[in-house]
């Protein structure tokens, strides 16, 4: 009789551990450099529109195409931008496409940027991708990315 409560406790423990392991998501990182070409579509200095074309190298090999809207202000180094881009390529051996959404602001030089993988935008072997990206620009103007992602949703 004394074993029944212990057995029940052990069963609850293993069910709980299984649920935790099932819900655990392994976050992966992909890093590399990219080249970007920004082409103005409008000439308005306050509200701008630009086309983006990127070539990505490293853990993510491919290209992207997108559109960006910008907002400038009368205060130096303040403004905002939003963008969406479709990435096509191979991410650490998996081929497909996905969409990135950008939202950035700059307040007198202080930058804040969020880049998110659009939910359910992945295709082919990247169909279940989720995550976010950081862009790093070095002192020479070279662009780098750090994509934190999962394919296990």
Alpha-carbon distance of 118 to 123, in angstroms, equals 12
Alpha-carbon distance of 56 to 69, in angstroms, equals 22
Partners of 29 in beta bridges:
148
**Residues 25-71 pLDDT 10s:** 789 999 999 999 999 999 898 999 999 999 999 999 999 999 999 99
Phi and psi dihedrals of 44, rounded to 5?
A: -65, 125
DSSP code of residue 128 = T
CB 87 within 8 Å of CB 113: no
- 2 falls in which pLDDT band (50, 70, 90)? low
pTM summary value: 0.82
**Residues 81-130 pLDDT 10s:** 999 999 999 999 999 999 999 999 999 999 999 999 999 999 999 999 99
Largest separation between any pair of C-alpha atoms in the chain: 82
């Amino acid at each position: 009789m004394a074993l029944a409560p212990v057995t029940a406790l052990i069963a609850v423990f293993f069910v709980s551990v299984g649920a935790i392991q099932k819900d655990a998501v392994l976050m992966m990182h992909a890093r590399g450099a990219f080249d970007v070409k920004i082409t103005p579509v409008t000439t308005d200095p306050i509200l701008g529109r630009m086309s983006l074309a990127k070539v990505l190298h490293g853990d993510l090999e491919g290209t992207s195409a997108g559109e960006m809207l910008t907002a400038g202000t009368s205060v130096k180094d303040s403004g905002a931008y939003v963008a969406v881009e479709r990435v096509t390529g191979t991410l650490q051996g998996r081929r497909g496409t996905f969409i990135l959404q950008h939202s950035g602001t700059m307040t007198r030089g202080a930058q804040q940027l969020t880049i998110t993988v659009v939910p359910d935008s992945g295709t082919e072997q990247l169909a279940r991708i989720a995550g976010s990206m950081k862009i790093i620009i070095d002192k020479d103007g070279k662009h780098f990315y750090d994509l934190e992602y999962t394919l296990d949703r």
